[in-house]
Amino acid sequence: MANLDIFGSFQAMSRTLRVGLLLFPGCMPAGLLAFADMLHAANRRTGLPLFEARFIALQSGPIACAHGLVLQATHALNDGAREAILIPGFWAESAQHIDQTLAANADLVAALSRQGKRCQLWSYCVGVCLTAASGHLNNQCATVTWWLADTMLKRYPKIRWQSEKNCIFNESNATATGVNGYLPIAQSLIERHVSPAVFRDLIKLMVLPRPALSHDAFQAISLIEQPSRLLRQVHALVERLPAEQITLQKLANELGMSERTLARKVRNETGVPAAAYARRIKLSQVSERLTLTSTPVNTISAELGFSSDSNMRRMFKELTALTPAKYRQRFSRY
């Protein structure tokens, strides 16, 4: 039955689906390369030229990407027809960095705005900002990395932002959070245009993790995604300390400031009390071990320094509305 479904999906594709992988100065192209590999693997798996991926840019030629990597754009953005464009993110740690990149790529944003309705725009990580600036997300639902949510809501009020979601698909666009946001976009593309069975085969063939699912409470809580030096310091400190030793006084002392100053700065940057922010970081460590390992729950509790297993279970359920066992069952990567 699965083979018949796959065959039917192949027949539904009357011609090769062409995808432009957008390069621009300072972009982070790792996701583009991985996306291209997945489409190539889908072609090999089926024996059919289902997808064609080409690197494009505002103008063809060499493009200086992030970290000194130079890639060749074989086509200009406005050369030829394509069904979709995948827009990657770029390194940014603040709203100011976003502004600088948008200003430096004003011509690219203008070119994206001129793309017709037949060309879908897929963007992930902070690449969503380029799509938003182009106007293609107006009056549609979209997601964005959580620390940019307030800024984007103010600057682009015509977009129905849903930053609590990891990935949102519309008829003419897709948006996804995080540097691995290309993966759920690729999954949807392959499952819709080929079959879910082929995507499962690619996961095994390419030794890919299952697309990461996480509870809303833990989205964008990793250390690298924290938008300021202070939050990264707090994050690293909370991860290092045993849970029962984490107090506002302890954190303030370690960071060389008063409790009042720390509490004010954390609330200003996150919108939540410092104690709640620290608790979420520690419980995020619990969630990672639940989803990425088979370690018993009581062992996880002890290793992370909670005063008792029951106390950890209570706090975890208060935050997620799930017991650790139910959480593992729903979100495990294995």
Domains of the chain as residue ranges with CATH = 2-205 (3.40.50.880), 216-331 (1.10.10.60)
Segment 2-21, tens digit of pLDDT: 333 333 333 344 479 999 99
- Range scoring the smallest mean pLDDT among 24-28, 159-163, 222-226: 222-226
Band of residue 185 on the pLDDT scale cut at 50, 70, 90:
very high
Does residue 76 register a pLDDT over 80? yes
Does residue 201 register a pLDDT over 80? yes
Query: What is the mean pLDDT of the segment spanning 185-212?
Result: 81
Q: For position 41, what pLDDT does the model report?
A: 94
Side by side, the strands of the sheet bearing 120-124 are 75-76, 51-57, 17-22, 84-87, 120-124, 173-176, 167-169
Which range has the top average pLDDT, 75-84, 194-203, 215-224, 315-324? 315-324
Say how far apart CA 98 and CA 252 lie, in whole Å.
30
Q: For position 192, what pLDDT does the model report?
A: 87
The set of residues, in sequence order, having a beta carbon less than 8 Å from that of 107 and lying 6+ positions away, is 58
Band of residue 245 on the pLDDT scale cut at 50, 70, 90:
very high
Average pLDDT, the chain: 88
Query: What is the mean pLDDT of the segment spanning 65-79?
Result: 94
Structure tokens at 99: 């502004």
- Say what the pTM is: 0.66
Q: For position 321, what pLDDT does the model report?
A: 93
Q: For position 131, what pLDDT does the model report?
A: 98
Report the interhelical angle of 95-104 vs 106-113 (nearest 10°). Answer: 80
Structure tokens at 272: 């939540």
Q: For position 325, what pLDDT does the model report?
A: 93
> 216 or 312: which carries more pLDDT confidence?
312
Query: What is the mean pLDDT of the segment spanning 89-112?
Result: 94
Query: What is the mean pLDDT of the segment spanning 133-145?
Result: 93
Among 286, 280, 284, which Cα is nearest to 266's?
Answer: 280
Backbone angles phi, psi at 322, to 5 degrees: -130, 145
